[in-house]
Amino acid sequence: MLHVELVLQGLVNGSMYAVVAIGLTLIYGLLRILHVAHAGLYTLGAYITVLTTNATGSLALGILAAMLVVGLCGMLVYRLLYEPMLERPPYVALIASIGLFICMEESYRIVFGPYGSSFDMPRLGERIALGPISIAAADAAMLVGAIVLLTGLAMLMRRTRFGVAWRATVTDPAMARSFGIDTIKVRYVNFFIASVFAAAAGSLVAVLNNLVEPTMGSVPSYKSLAIIVLGGLGQVGGTLAAALLLGVIEAYGTIYAGAYLDRDAIAFIFLIVVLMIRPQGLFARGS
Amino acid sequence: MLELKGLTCGYGRFVAVRDLSFTVRRGEAMAVLGANGAGKTSTLMAIAGQVAVQSGAILFDGEDITALSPMARCARGLALAPEGRRLFRDLTVRENLVVGGYVRAARATAANMDKVLALFPRLEERLDNLAGSLSGGEQQMAAIGRAMMAEPRLLLIDEVSLGLMPKNVDICYEALDALRRAGLTIVLIEQSLERVLDMVDHVCVLESGSLAWAGTAADARGNPDVIRAYMGGVHG
Ligand SMILES: Nc1ncnc2c1ncn2[C@@H]1O[C@H](COP(=O)(O)OP(=O)(O)OP(=O)(O)O)[C@@H](O)[C@H]1O
Ligand SMILES: [Mg+2]
């Protein structure tokens, strides 16, 4: 049973990484921008969830508000920050993005205070039994939430005309334009959906930990950057696999090496080793 | 249907095509010939809105489209099968065709796809394959098919036969011929002189970015001026 529970725990963490990292991959795939500030939006999503839930008593409303507001903020970040520098070399946007991320973390500290916030009433603390194994309700919510979001995204991308146009734009924006696709709209939708995903992950982590802090985005930010490289930059499927793999490795590492190293250290050792062996990512395709 | 008036276009400050004028009437086919680097692709891409026009004007159905976006040109009935095909490699052939028809109503997609498959039956079995996995000939068919999904009135096609096996060249030319007979206006770029003169009405030859010769296909056949310009001055 230990293995089942470890894998399950790994998948829970991995699905959180996946939801954050897929947003990053979508943005990298379309614009070749490493959107570090993505993790700032994730934190914002967590704060909005806690504040709205405490104000209204409805967690569902809190999560929805977070997704909507953060989605709009993502479009704003594109419009105000990235769009003016699209013609510049990629590191310009990267530096700007790091700057924005730091700025966001400090703003949260000023506005919401340095000590973090919690739900007035602890949420989803109980455990659900599935035969011999049991899983925390919050963990289950994370898994189910990730599955719903990722399936929804896959359906949008595969089954709708707009989704196909979106993927065409990622492959060849100039040709997409010549076939009448509004590639600017694709960018806004891309930022909206990616940011909605960040917000959803932030919400679910807030529920999981019953704590949101100004700096809660730092570790997910570094990890998700490493994950998208591991997944073969810009590839949604590879990103998903890399995120889940990292989650499981972490879960095992915590049990078998947890006495010497903490979870994040284990994750980074894994990421560094893999990237040393396969700098092109685990799932890079030959060109 | 299409009129270029003193078109000068290029990349940044670089001028690729200078002061080019020609007219293509409705239902006609025009071939743009010339040596490597003569400016054929630049001309075509300027018509499609992909290369910057530095001066001059492009008229489509009497409307000045010089400042229109590629999207708007597509909506007005201009479709492109570009150099190198440029299919969306990570999309299936079916999805490429869907993108081709993106400017038209979704409910027109099925009927238009049937027309494309009637033109290129070979694509039928490849519909669910990734476009990147197609052979050169199939890619050209898919590229022409994708353009036809936009229900164009003017088809722009670059390098019809380059890199294709003779059998596939036949298939593509037969398809273009059928489309032209059905009333489509075509501007095409071609490297091999033989095949193209049978199919087009008019020819213009570019030489280092300028118009070197223009006339009917019949006059172009065997014309030493055309051959010389076409060879890019190799013989002179
Ligand atoms: N993207 C670009 N940036 C800068 N210059 C370019 C670009 N594309 C083409 N050129 C230049 O413009 C000129 C015309 O090129 P163009 O591709 O239009 O010629 P072409 O007649 O299509 O040649 P080919 O037969 O090789 O396809 C050439 O001197 C070429 O080097
Ligand atoms: Mg060319």
pLDDT score of B231: 67
Does B142 have pLDDT greater than 80? yes
**SS3 of A168, please?**
helix
Highest-pLDDT range among A179-188, A244-253, B199-208: A179-188
Between residues A232 and B76, the one the model is more confident about: B76
Is B100 close to A179, i.e. CB distance below 8 A?
yes
Return mean pLDDT, chain A: 89
Q: Is B37 in the pocket of ligand 1 (CB under 6 A)?
A: yes
For residue A273, is pLDDT > 90? no
CATH architecture for the domain at B22-86+151-231? 3-Layer(aba) Sandwich (3.40)
Domain map (residue ranges) of chain A? 2-277
- Choose, out of A157, A161, A169, A175, the residue to mutate when testing the contact with B (most B CBs < 10 Å): A175
The reported pLDDT for the residue numbered A64 is 96
Band the pLDDT of B184: cuts 50, 70, 90.
very high
Asked if the model's pLDDT at residue B30 lies above 60, the reply is yes
Chain B hits for A178, CB-CB cut-off 8 Å, are 48-50, 70-71, 73-74, 80, 82
Q: Which residues in chain A have Cβ-Cβ distances shorter than 8 Å to B150? A: 179-180
A16-70 confidence digits (pLDDT tens): 999 999 999 999 989 989 999 999 999 999 999 999 999 998 999 999 999 999 9
> Average pLDDT, stretch B134-156?
95
Bridge-based pairing of strands B29-34 and B185-189 is parallel
- Picking from A83, A13, A69, the residue whose alpha carbon sits closest to that of residue A41 is A69
A1 pLDDT band, cuts 50/70/90, is low
Residues 6+ apart with CB under 8 A from B101: B108, B109, B112, B113, B149, B150, B151
CA distance A196 to A226: 21
Beta strands in chain B (DSSP E): 2-11, 14-24, 29-34, 52-60, 63-64, 78-81, 154-157, 185-189, 202-207, 210-216
State in Å: Cα B88 to ligand 2 middle: 19
Q: Looking at beta carbons, which residues of chain A come within 8 Å of B91?
A: 164, 167-168, 171
pLDDT of residue A90: 84
pLDDT digits 0-9 by tens, B199-215: 899 999 998 888 988 88
In this predicted structure, the answer to whether residue A234 has a pLDDT above a threshold of 50 is yes
Distance CA A248, CA A7 (A): 6
Chain B neighbors of A164, CB-CB under 8 A: 91, 95, 98-99
User: For B49-69, what is the mean pLDDT?
Assistant: 93
Written out in words, the top-level CATH class of the domain with range A2-277 is mainly alpha
* Yes or no, beta carbons of B86 and A172 under 8 Å apart: yes
Of B70, B90, B98, the CB nearest to A178: B70
Is pLDDT of A125 > 80?
Answer: no
The answer, yes or no, to whether residue A287 has pLDDT greater than 50, is no
User: Is B89 in the A-facing interface, judged by CB distances under 8 Å?
Assistant: yes
Q: Give A259's pLDDT tier (boundaries 50, 70, 90).
A: confident
The stretch B179-200 carries a mean pLDDT of: 88
- Number of helical H runs and strand E runs in chain B: 9, 10
Q: Identify the burial level of A182 via C-beta atoms within 10 angstroms of its C-beta, where 0-12 means exposed, 13-18 middle and 19 or more buried.
A: middle
pLDDT at B234 over 70: no
Start-to-end C-alpha separation, chain A: 43
A98: left (phi over 0), alpha (psi -120 to 50) or beta: alpha
Q: pLDDT band at residue A126, thresholds of 50, 70 and 90?
A: confident
Q: What pLDDT was estimated at residue B235? A: 42
Which one has a higher pLDDT value, A268 or A12? A12
Most confident of A223-227, A259-263, A282-286: A223-227
pLDDT band at B158 (very low <50, low <70, confident <90, very high): very high
Using a 6 Å cutoff on CB, does residue B39 contact ligand 1?
yes
Statement: residue A135 has pLDDT above 90:
no
Report whether A21 contacts A38 (CB < 8 A). Answer: no
Residue among B15, B17, B20, B40 whose CB has most ligand 1 atoms within 8 A, to mutate: B40
Our answer on whether the CB atom of B38 is closer than 6 Å to any ligand 1 atom is yes
Q: Is B51 in the pocket of ligand 1 (CB under 6 A)?
A: no
Predicted confidence (pLDDT) at residue B236 exceeds the cutoff of 50: no
| pLDDT tens sequence across A153-174 | 999 999 999 999 999 999 999 9
- Lowest-pLDDT choice from A91-95, A256-260, B7-11, B88-92: A256-260
| pLDDT for A279 beyond 60 | yes
Q: Is B213 helix (H, G, I), strand (E, B) or coil?
A: strand
Instruction: Name the region of B156 (left: φ>0; alpha: ψ -120 to 50; beta: rest).
Output: beta
Residue A109: band (very low, low, confident or very high) from pLDDT cuts 50, 70, 90: very high
Q: Is B84 in the pocket of ligand 1 (CB under 6 A)?
A: no
pLDDT band of residue B118 (cuts 50, 70, 90) is very high
Q: How much is the ipTM here?
A: 0.90
Q: Is A286 on the interface with B (CB under 8 A)?
A: no
Judged by average pLDDT, the poorest of A127-141, B60-74, B186-200 is: A127-141
The answer on pLDDT for A92 being more than 90 is: yes
- What percentage of chain B carries pLDDT values higher than 90? 75
- What is the Cα–Cα distance from B21 to B43, expressed in whole angstroms? 11
Q: Report the chain A residue with the minimal C-alpha distance to residue B147.
A: A179
Residue B126 pLDDT greater than 70, yes or no? yes
Check CB contact under 8 Å for B50 and A171: no
Mean pLDDT of chain B: 90
